[in-house]
Amino acid sequence: GENVEQHPSTLSVQEGDSAVIKCTYSDSASNYFPWYKQELGKRPQLIIDIRSNVGEKKDQRIAVTLNKTAKHFSLHITETQPEDSAVYFCAASRGGLTGGGNKLTFGTGTQLKVEL
């Protein structure tokens, strides 16, 4: 089955700096790669996702890049703010393909701390 590795496990940045979180996946058939943000005691919430037919996607201060050849994808947060402090999870799935539905395999998470 799919295996997703995520690094680093903790990341501390100064407010205004950029943060980068990296994930690798093992299943070359995976085609959907979402990123979730989880605040303490809350549910995970999608912040951005990318499909395998796209190499990069941006949404304001957040961007995701995908390298299918190397089987890795990354989350980039620019101009970090204290409210960006949370745990971030990457995931991968064969989204929409027959039989698997939208079965996600998650990375183990990155605790991001944005310091003033």
Partner 1 sequence: NAGVTQTPKFQVLKTGQSMTLQCAQDMNHEYMSWYRQDPGMGLRLIHYSVGAGITDQGEVPNGYNVSRSTTEDFPLRLLSAAPSQTSVYFCASSYSSWDRDNEQFFGPGTRLTVL
- Tokens 């971030």 correspond to what residue? 88
Taking the complex as a whole, how short is the minimal distance between the CB of residue 32 and partner 1, in angstroms? 5
Tell me if 101 contacts partner 1 by CB under 8 A. Answer: yes
The only residue of 37, 109, 112, 114 in contact with partner 1, by rule CB under 8 A: 109
Q: Where are the alpha helices (DSSP H) in 42-96?
A: none
**Over the Cα atoms of the chain, what is R_g?**
14
Tell me if 78 contacts partner 1 by CB under 8 A. Answer: no
Instruction: Enumerate the β-bridge partners of residue 4.
Output: 25
**From CA 89, how far away is CA 36, in angstroms rounded?**
5
Query: Do residues 27 and 94 make contact, with C-beta atoms less than 8 angstroms apart?
Result: yes
Taking the complex as a whole, how short is the minimal distance between the CB of residue 46 and partner 1, in angstroms? 5
Tell me if 93 contacts partner 1 by CB under 8 A. Answer: yes
Taking the complex as a whole, how short is the minimal distance between the CB of residue 56 and partner 1, in angstroms? 18
Count of C-beta atoms within a 10 Å radius of residue 71 = 16
Residues near partner 1 (CB under 8 A): 1, 6, 9, 32, 34, 42-46, 49, 89, 93, 95-97, 99-109
